[in-house]
Amino acid sequence: MNNQPFVSKFKRGVSLLHKFDDALYYSMQCDCGDHECGSIIEIECDEGALILCNFYKDVQFDFWTYPNNPIKRFFYRWKSAIILAFTGRISLHGSFVIQDAEHITNFAEALLEGRDYCLNRRNQREE
């Protein structure tokens, strides 16, 4: 059994936010320059054999559709709100900018670090 305290290794674009018994939370910064544009990545191991990876990101509705026609834009927004109200679904999108290879590598390594953490927790539970 590994009793050493867990320490995350990331510096550039990815950082460990929280560590719980069965979950790690990482902050992934976007290189676009907007500090509110980043994403939170949760890697969680459940009681069974699943490792869950959840991404949390604030996305924006495409309110800029029909930028030259405010009347069309107004009705587009109302139409979308009605669709959301009646169906519970709406299509959203978000972008994430990564400019250099180190940032991409850190993102991939964060996923691997979370996977290894969950596998270690599973082994600890089985012992």
CA dist., res. 52 & res. 20, Å (int): 14
Instruction: Say if residue 12 is in the same domain as residue 74.
Output: no
Instruction: Say if residue 8 is in the same domain as residue 68.
Output: no
Instruction: Say if residue 104 is in the same domain as residue 48.
Output: yes
Instruction: Say if residue 45 is in the same domain as residue 6.
Output: yes
49-99, pLDDT tens digit by residue? 788 888 888 777 776 777 788 888 889 889 888 998 999 988 776 777 777
Instruction: Say if residue 64 is in the same domain as residue 85.
Output: yes
Q: In what order do the strands lie in the sheet with 14-20?
A: 14-20, 23-28, 39-45, 51-56
Instruction: Say if residue 42 is in the same domain as residue 80.
Output: no
> Which is nearest to 93 in space by CA: 53, 41, 57, 55?
57
- The pLDDT of residue 76: 87
CA dist., res. 115 & res. 14, Å (int): 16
**From the CB of residue 111, how many other CB atoms can be counted at a distance below 10 Å?**
16
> Which is nearest to 100 in space by CA: 8, 7, 14, 9?
14
pLDDT of 4 above 80? no
Instruction: Say if residue 11 is in the same domain as residue 51.
Output: yes
Instruction: Say if residue 17 is in the same domain as residue 41.
Output: yes
> What domain count does the chain have?
2
Instruction: Say if residue 54 is in the same domain as residue 64.
Output: no
Give the domain extent around 83: 60-93
User: 24, 51 in Cβ contact below 8 A?
Assistant: no
Instruction: Say if residue 5 is in the same domain as residue 47.
Output: yes
Burial zone of 87 (CB within 10 Å; 0-12 exposed, 13-18 middle, 19+ buried) = exposed
Instruction: Say if residue 54 is in the same domain as residue 65.
Output: no
pLDDT of 43 above 80? yes
